[in-house]
Amino acid sequence: MCTVFAQSEVTSLLAKRQKREDIARGIHMAILNRTLSLLKRVSTTPDIVFAGGVAKNPCLKNLLSDALGYDLKVPEDPQMVGAYGAAMIAQKS
């Protein structure tokens, strides 16, 4: 999903007085569909960790969990997972 195009599309939909809830749902579904298409390229198991700032979005977490058919594991501070990993790699260097 191109963020520039998405922003332009949202601006256009708001100007057309589309409901914000409908726009938000459309954005969530676009992210969900893109994520599912990427997950099809790799094998998945019920042991998926949903990390990054987006994991703090309960709507997207629930949509993805429902689509996959199992619960997702979300760390306490999911937005920090990448930084923790980078720090661990740096510590080994």
What gap in Å lies between CA 64 and CA 76, rounded to an integer?
18
Kindly report whether the global pTM for this prediction surpasses the value 0.85: no
Mean pLDDT in order along the chain per 10 residues (93 residues)? 76 89 90 92 86 95 94 95 95 90
CA 34, 35, 39, 45 torsion-angle sign: negative
Q: Catalogue all structural domains in the chain, each as residue range(s) with its CATH number.
A: 3-92 (3.30.420.40)
CA distances from 22 to 9, 44, 75 (A): 13, 30, 29
What gap in Å lies between CA 30 and CA 49, rounded to an integer?
20
Q: What is the pLDDT of residue 81?
A: 95
Q: What is the pLDDT of residue 1?
A: 62
The crossing angle, in degrees rounded to 10, of helices 20-39 and 3-15 is: 160
Q: What is the pLDDT of residue 46?
A: 83
Phi and psi torsions of 49, nearest 5° = -100, 125
